[in-house]
Amino acid sequence: MSELQQKANKNLAEKILKTNFGIEGDLMQLVGEIDANFAVLINGVKTYTLKISPLAHLDSFKFQTEILKHLPDNDIQLTLPKPIADVKGDFLSESIENDKKYIARLLTWIPGRLMAQVNPILPELLYDLGKKSGEITKKLQNFRDPFDTRKLDWDIAQGTWCENFLDLFEFDQREILQYYLALFRENLATYKELRKSVVHNDLNENNIIVSYDKIHPQVVALIDFGDAVYTQTINDLAIACAYGMMDFPDPLSSGLTLVKGYHESFPLEENELAHLYCAVAIRLVISVTKSGINRKEYPENTYLQISEKQAWDLLKKWRNIDPDFAHYSFRQACGFEAHPNENLFKNWARQQDFSLSDLFPTTTCKNIHLLDLSVSSEWIGHLEDYNDLDLFQFKIDQLQKVNPDKVIAGGYLEPRPIYTSDSYDKIGNNGKESRTIHLGIDFWLPARTPVAALFDGEIVTAVNDEGNKEYGGLLILKHCEQNLIFYTLYGHLTVTSALKYSTGDLVKKGEQIAELGSYPENGNWASHLHFQIMLSMLNYTIDFPGVTYKNQLNVWKSICPDPNLLFQIDGLKTKYGKDNDSLLSFRKKYIGKSLSLQYKNPLQIVRGQGPYLIDPWGKKYLDTLNNVAHVGHEHIEVVNAGRMQMALLNTNTRYLHKNINELAEILLSTFPPELNVVHFVNSGSEANELALRMAKTATNGKGFIASEVGYHGNTNACIDISSYKFDGKGGKGKPDYVEIFPLPDAFRGKFRGENTGEFYAQEVEKCIQNLKNKNIPLAGMIIESIISCGGQIELPEGFLQKSFDLVRAQKGTCIIDEVQVGCGRVGKTFWGFQLHNVIPDIVTIGKPLGNGHPLAAVVCTAEIAEKFANGMEFFNTFGGNPVSCAIGSAVLKMIKNENLQENALKVGDFLKNELKQLAKDFPIIGDVRGQGLFLGFELVNSQLQPLEEQTTYLINRMKEFGILLSSDGPDHNVIKIKPPMVFSIENAIEFLFYLRKVFAEDFMKLT
């Protein structure tokens, strides 16, 4: 619409508003396809909606008005616009302007925002939309009007008209449209028999009003009944789904949420659900066809093409979803059995009487030994062990020897970690999803074991399913028993035995059909049969999933019922771990309440792998905060070093042993020559406790200087110097012998900007003077090389060097806490203090050194060590034990051998630069700081006030996408980034992608 047309429309609207309705107000033009629409502002407040249209639309206006008059009388749980009568008492007001006749309608304004303006669209909102849409459908069941039977292009029931416009599209687009239109025609006869009613018919994001609540928005109104029509009732839900699923990576999952809400308000019938998939598609087909026509006829009107790209994207995604699978999913969402024959099959199967010898003719065993291959399986051990097929086969053989009268089996609906490689991942609405849930039963038997058919059947698949961790030799048989059709799948066979059949071949019950294969021909597995039952082949012809995603589990277990229904063997039920509620309940009762959990809804983590933590269902969480697992969660070399030494000896340091010498040698080689004596302990807290004791012994002093919001451990002495603790909740303030200088934060600290090092060093000097004034001799100063709990604070240039000079001038000891920062994490140097061109007297090391094993160390100068050895023996029972030392040596070797310090520099620089770019787009990121893979960014408003709520929101939203974050800083507004050192560029890209996504959400926007 041109600027001249807009002005003319506005002038007309002002005249009609004043003359016909007796109202004066300011007008704001709203979008519209045909009509002129305006918001009417009275004293700056939106109060009415004015719609003006040619008089030819009078019948449509009457129809819409009758709907609005009908709905409030039926107690709708929505705020609906109310028609306002003109000065003559008419709800539809006629006008003549320049010999043209117009019809106008005034409605009350509904406060809120369009759903199109809401970000993110969470499941709760989709559910509410479904529920409110269902209410409208229910209340319109008894509404009829002469105008409701008009022919309307937007009516899904009339969708075949789109066939006349296929030439508007390119070949690939035309093929998609033809597919859906053919599917629609194929089922048109039964579709026409569905129940009918008047429906809204245009539940798109611009006709849905949502509350202003940024965290828990709700649908408050459904507006614009201009396209309402008498048609198949299911169409309204299809339209809501078509628009509600747009822009989601997994549209079906979003659609199911909407369907559940709709069904709660307006119960759907089973025959309607059979047509929902196609009805959704046809609405999208109509939308893109309309856009194609409008683009040709009205190229200047962008509103008419507003959702074309989104519709095409959804059409393509929808095409990749099997129609039957969608149908079964809709059924499950509405509380029906997902597959219509599920219960029929189960009842029939329970009447059968099969034994294992019917499946394996050469086997006499009647019982099974349940093999646990779940995510938390101790039998699997490390995943690297599982991938060693010779080792795995050896373990199976040994297990069989212990259980000679049983068949080793299991796995139905078992979540397994062995499928968590990237090849099984897809992007869902909540980040990466892994296909982990096993749909069949595995029977572990020797290669060449004969396999027989349990029923008469027809071969539908006989292939060599090549590829690592695929089926290898694969047979699928179709069966018909008492008019019940189902399929059985036999995977991991010899290729020869599978390929001897052709599609359509018939086999008899009890006939030997194949033999078990061995690797590599069976898909690179230890020898076993994957046996699965399917009630539908969906659209698969040469393969069929043997594993599924957790969020689709309820549908897949209906399509693929438990094969043990045929055998009814006790003990063949998968054992799951403890659920979160029972774990949490026990913890609250018996574990100290001061031990906190991460996240409002805590995670149960049962396995680690590289940069990931994994829950019992196999969901992988990218770990950006766990600097304990320094070289990666459960690094195989570290694990092997520990278990090998544990099998030999673990004792204290009263005996000579090479491991403590080896670890000391490797560790000291990373330090300047002045730091050449090491003491081993078990934790960072112990290391700092020992460092404080050393400093007091070496100086005969008592006073300590530390940073505000510093944290150095959980022992009494460490708490006394940790402002983070004693100034926080439950703290009792600093002891008299401790002086605290302001957090040296150049962003929001006492001194800000560049060149603040000298000013903060002067604060250290004041602390020294305060101790003097109290006649407390100085023992030393302790500080992290990057202050972690303070908010990943990089020390200002020159601060550390100047402070050390001041401390040493008073004969004090300089202690650097590298518990979180050290071991190559900062990238440029191996230790954080080396960034500042200083050499401390004592360095403490903790978390990184043991990669999760309790191991820590204190490294000091020979002078300090000599003074500490004053006759009082220092002994730590487990510090420096052979197992810990073996693990520590392995960690340091892996840092070097796998170039992890270089990786920290490369990935850290990339991540820091990208975060700075992100801050340009999202000013809520006030500061990005840190070095290597020890980074942080701070969330503030334009006045640099901390944004704790937004920080908490970000952390919890990122968790939903499978990325773990945590906060630090005195105001809990700094996101810390301290991932395992194997964190890659690819990991960083994923992390940044979801950061950008969440930062664009409503709650993160500064107002």
pLDDT tens per residue across span 99-114: 888 999 999 999 999 9
Instruction: Read off φ and ψ for residue 507, nearest 5 degrees.
Output: -125, 155
Please report where in the chains the tokens 């822009």 appear, as a residue: 247
Shortest CA distance to 107 belongs to which of 68, 58, 59, 63? 68
CA 655 to chain centre: 50
pLDDT tens per residue across span 945-973: 999 999 999 999 999 999 999 999 999 99
pLDDT at 776 (0 to 100): 96
pLDDT at 8 (0 to 100): 53
Instruction: Read off φ and ψ for residue 434, nearest 5 degrees.
Output: -110, 140
Which residues, at least 6 apart from 376, have a Cβ–Cβ distance to it below 8 Å? 577, 606, 607, 616
Residues 184 and 328 in one domain: yes
Fill in the amino acid letter for 931. Answer: Q
Whether the CB-CB separation of 360 and 443 falls below 8 Å is answered with yes
pLDDT tens per residue across span 274-309: 999 999 999 999 999 999 998 888 777 666 566 689
pLDDT tens per residue across span 868-908: 988 887 878 888 899 999 999 999 999 999 999 999 999 99
Q: Give a yes or no: residue 951 inside a domain.
A: yes
pLDDT at 607 (0 to 100): 93
Q: Give a yes or no: residue 803 inside a domain.
A: yes
Instruction: Read off φ and ψ for residue 726, nearest 5 degrees.
Output: -75, -15
Whether the CB-CB separation of 1005 and 648 falls below 8 Å is answered with no
Which residues, at least 6 apart from 33, have a Cβ–Cβ distance to it below 8 Å? 303, 304
Tell me the C-alpha distance between 845 and 713, whole Å: 12
Residues 78 and 188 in one domain: no
On the question of a cis peptide bond just before residue 120, with omega within 30 degrees of 0, the verdict is yes
Q: Give a yes or no: residue 946 inside a domain.
A: yes
Tell the burial category of 216 from Cβ atoms under 10 Å away from its Cβ (0-12, 13-18, 19+): exposed
Q: List residues bridging with 30 in a β-sheet.
A: 37
Tell me the C-alpha distance between 232 and 197, whole Å: 6
602 DSSP assignment: P
Residues 213 and 312 in one domain: yes
On the question of a cis peptide bond just before residue 980, with omega within 30 degrees of 0, the verdict is no
Identify which has the larger pLDDT, 599 or 327: 327
pLDDT at 468 (0 to 100): 85
Whether the CB-CB separation of 315 and 284 falls below 8 Å is answered with yes
Which of 897, 925, 952 is the C-terminal boundary of a domain?
Answer: 897
Tell me the C-alpha distance between 290 and 33, whole Å: 12
874 DSSP assignment: P
H-state helical runs in 525-674: 553-559, 564-567, 580-590, 636-646, 658-668
Which residues, at least 6 apart from 381, have a Cβ–Cβ distance to it below 8 Å? none
Residues 357 and 468 in one domain: yes
pLDDT at 576 (0 to 100): 62
Fill in the amino acid letter for 172. Answer: D
The CATH code of the domain that includes 19 is 3.30.200.20
Tell me the C-alpha distance between 178 and 107, whole Å: 41
pLDDT at 571 (0 to 100): 83
Please report where in the chains the tokens 């059949």 appear, as a residue: 501
Residue 999 CB neighbours (<10 A): 19
pTM above 0.95, yes or no: no
The CATH code of the domain that includes 206 is 3.90.1200.10
Whether the CB-CB separation of 660 and 880 falls below 8 Å is answered with yes
pLDDT tens per residue across span 367-412: 999 999 999 999 998 888 877 888 889 999 999 999 999 999 999 9
Tell me the C-alpha distance between 356 and 567, whole Å: 7
Residues 104 and 120 in one domain: no
pLDDT at 304 (0 to 100): 57
Q: Is 455 helix (H, G, I), strand (E, B) or coil?
A: coil
Q: Is 60 exceeded by the pLDDT of residue 4?
A: no
Q: Give a yes or no: residue 458 inside a domain.
A: yes
pLDDT tens per residue across span 418-469: 875 566 678 899 998 989 999 999 999 999 999 999 999 999 999 999 988 8
Q: Give a yes or no: residue 623 inside a domain.
A: no
Q: Give a yes or no: residue 181 inside a domain.
A: yes
Question: CA separation (Å) from 891 to 312, 662, 666, 847, 886?
Answer: 51, 12, 10, 11, 9
Confidence of residue 1 (pLDDT cuts 50, 70, 90): very low
Both tokens assigned to 931: 């070095």
Residues 68 and 56 in one domain: yes
Strand locations in 294-422 (E): 367-370, 406-410
Residues 772 and 881 in one domain: yes
Q: List residues bridging with 857 in a β-sheet.
A: 680, 845
pLDDT at 581 (0 to 100): 83
pLDDT tens per residue across span 971-981: 999 999 999 99
Which residues, at least 6 apart from 882, have a Cβ–Cβ distance to it below 8 Å? 645, 648, 649, 650, 651, 657, 659, 660
The CATH code of the domain that includes 491 is 2.70.70.10
Whether the CB-CB separation of 198 and 140 falls below 8 Å is answered with yes
Q: Is 542 helix (H, G, I), strand (E, B) or coil?
A: coil
Q: Give a yes or no: residue 619 inside a domain.
A: no
Confidence of residue 77 (pLDDT cuts 50, 70, 90): confident
Fill in the amino acid letter for 692. Answer: L
CA atoms within 13 A on the CB side of 37: 12
Shortest CA distance to 20 belongs to which of 90, 115, 67? 90
Confidence of residue 583 (pLDDT cuts 50, 70, 90): confident
Fill in the amino acid letter for 796. Answer: P
Q: Give a yes or no: residue 607 inside a domain.
A: no
Taken in order 223, 227, 231, 232, the sign of the CA dihedral is negative
CA 53 to chain centre: 47
Which residues, at least 6 apart from 558, have a Cβ–Cβ distance to it below 8 Å? 328, 332, 337, 338, 339, 342, 535
Instruction: Read off φ and ψ for residue 925, nearest 5 degrees.
Output: -80, 100
Residues 884 and 966 in one domain: no
Whether the CB-CB separation of 830 and 822 falls below 8 Å is answered with yes
pLDDT tens per residue across span 665-680: 999 999 999 999 999 9
Tell me the C-alpha distance between 242 and 129, whole Å: 13
301 DSSP assignment: -
Residue 5 CB neighbours (<10 A): 10
Shortest CA distance to 763 belongs to which of 778, 735, 743? 743
CA atoms within 13 A on the CB side of 708: 14
Residues 827 and 960 in one domain: no
pLDDT tens per residue across span 8-29: 578 889 999 999 999 999 999 8
pLDDT (average), residues 249-269 = 97
Taken in order 744, 748, 749, 751, the sign of the CA dihedral is positive
Q: Is 90 exceeded by the pLDDT of residue 732?
A: no
Residues 94 and 177 in one domain: no
pLDDT tens per residue across span 627-655: 899 999 999 999 999 999 999 998 888 88
The CATH code of the domain that includes 979 is 3.90.1150.10
Which of 60, 78, 111 is the C-terminal boundary of a domain?
Answer: 111
pLDDT at 872 (0 to 100): 82
Tell me the C-alpha distance between 263 and 237, whole Å: 9
Tell me the C-alpha distance between 807 and 816, whole Å: 13
Tell me the C-alpha distance between 63 and 79, whole Å: 19
Percent of the chain scored above 70 by pLDDT? 97
Which of 279, 310, 336 is the C-terminal boundary of a domain?
Answer: 336
Residues 891 and 987 in one domain: no
Please report where in the chains the tokens 């979803």 appear, as a residue: 321
Q: Could you list the residue range(s) of the whole structural domain that residue 216 is in?
A: 115-336
Residues 63 and 119 in one domain: no
Average pLDDT, the chain: 93
pLDDT at 420 (0 to 100): 55
Structurally, the chain folds into a number of domains equal to: 5
Instruction: Read off φ and ψ for residue 742, nearest 5 degrees.
Output: -60, 145
Whether the CB-CB separation of 519 and 434 falls below 8 Å is answered with no
Whether the CB-CB separation of 628 and 634 falls below 8 Å is answered with no
Least confident stretch, 36-40, 572-576, 859-863: 572-576
DSSP string for 720-736: HT-HHHHTSTT-----T
Q: Which strand (E) or helix (H) includes residue 171?
A: helix 171-186
CA atoms within 13 A on the CB side of 170: 3
Longest Cα–Cα distance in the chain: 112
Instruction: Read off φ and ψ for residue 389, nearest 5 degrees.
Output: -65, -35
pLDDT tens per residue across span 323-350: 999 999 999 999 999 999 999 999 999 9
Confidence of residue 575 (pLDDT cuts 50, 70, 90): low
Shortest CA distance to 25 belongs to which of 89, 109, 93? 109
